[in-house]
Amino acid sequence: MPMLLHEASLKRQSIFDALFRNLTRIAAFGVLILLAAIITSLVLGSMPAIKTFGFGFLISPEWDPVNDQFGALIPIVGTLITSFIALLIAIPVSFGIAIFLTELSPRVLRRPLGVAIELLAGIPSIIYGMWGLFVFAPLFADHVEPWLNEHVGTLPYIGPFFSGPPMGIGILTASIILAIMVIPFIASVMRDVFDVVPAMLKESAYGLGSTTWEV
């Protein structure tokens, strides 16, 4: 009798294991299906533009609403430049934050600062965008762009990038806002990477005479 109960328990457990395994498999494939659905939706939604302008739309710099001539090259290049500048700002700052949290920060501050970074990473991007448009951009136009125009706008080569009327809405403003948005993500990932470094390696480096920065 105990043997029969044990076999029934094993059979029931195997059923639950199989059910759980199938549910996890469905969840994994569900992500792929969702990604495929998004790509399909984008392709179908872009078909009218592709039929009208062709794939040359992606490399055309023309933007003439009067004659219904549109090209995506300028927005694409602007996006790439904005992202590049944002990464130039965000990566060093995130690296410093991660180093401070893992090596230099007092223990009493390490957890609150880590939680604050996680909370910043959870803020929707639309909030950053609205804050940048209604708060940061006017401040940038009133206090930063006039200084840049006066002191940097007269320099050769890079001057044209900082000259012009201070409107507050431009590539530099967008890059700074984007950098502020991605810093919590990059800093969090870097902190996790630094945390998994074995303590023995750090202690060995200190024992060989390495400084905190070298470690």
Residue ranges per structural domain of the chain: 2-49, 64-207
Q: How high is the pLDDT of residue 15?
A: 75
Instruction: Single out the residue of 173, 180, 67, 194 nearest to residue 117, CA to CA.
Output: 180
Q: How high is the pLDDT of residue 92?
A: 94
Rounded CA separation 197/205 (Å): 12
Q: How high is the pLDDT of residue 12?
A: 65
Q: From the CB of residue 100, how many other CB atoms can be counted at a distance below 10 Å?
A: 15
Rounded CA separation 90/113 (Å): 17
Reported as type and span, the H/E element at residue 190 is helix 171-195
Alpha-helix runs per DSSP H in 54-144: 73-99, 107-121, 125-131, 137-139
Instruction: Single out the residue of 93, 66, 99 nearest to residue 213, CA to CA.
Output: 99
Q: Are 190 and 94 in contact (CB under 8 A)?
A: yes
Q: What is the pLDDT along the chain (215 residues), one digit of tens a residue?
A: 555 555 556 566 677 777 888 888 898 899 899 999 999 999 898 888 788 877 777 888 887 778 777 788 888 998 999 999 999 999 999 999 998 888 888 888 888 888 888 888 888 989 999 999 899 988 888 888 888 888 777 777 777 777 777 777 888 899 999 999 999 999 999 988 888 877 787 777 777 777 767 66
Q: From the CB of residue 132, how many other CB atoms can be counted at a distance below 10 Å?
A: 20
- Determine whether 148 is exposed, middle or buried from the number of CB atoms within 10 Å of its CB (0-12, 13-18, 19+): middle
Q: How high is the pLDDT of residue 11?
A: 65
Rounded CA separation 182/190 (Å): 12
DSSP 197: S
Whether this prediction's pTM lies above 0.85 is answered by no
**For 61, phi and psi rounded to 5 degrees?**
-85, 0
CB neighbour list of residue 142: distance below 8 Å, 6 or more residues apart = 166, 168
Q: Are 166 and 146 in contact (CB under 8 A)?
A: yes
Rounded CA separation 131/178 (Å): 12
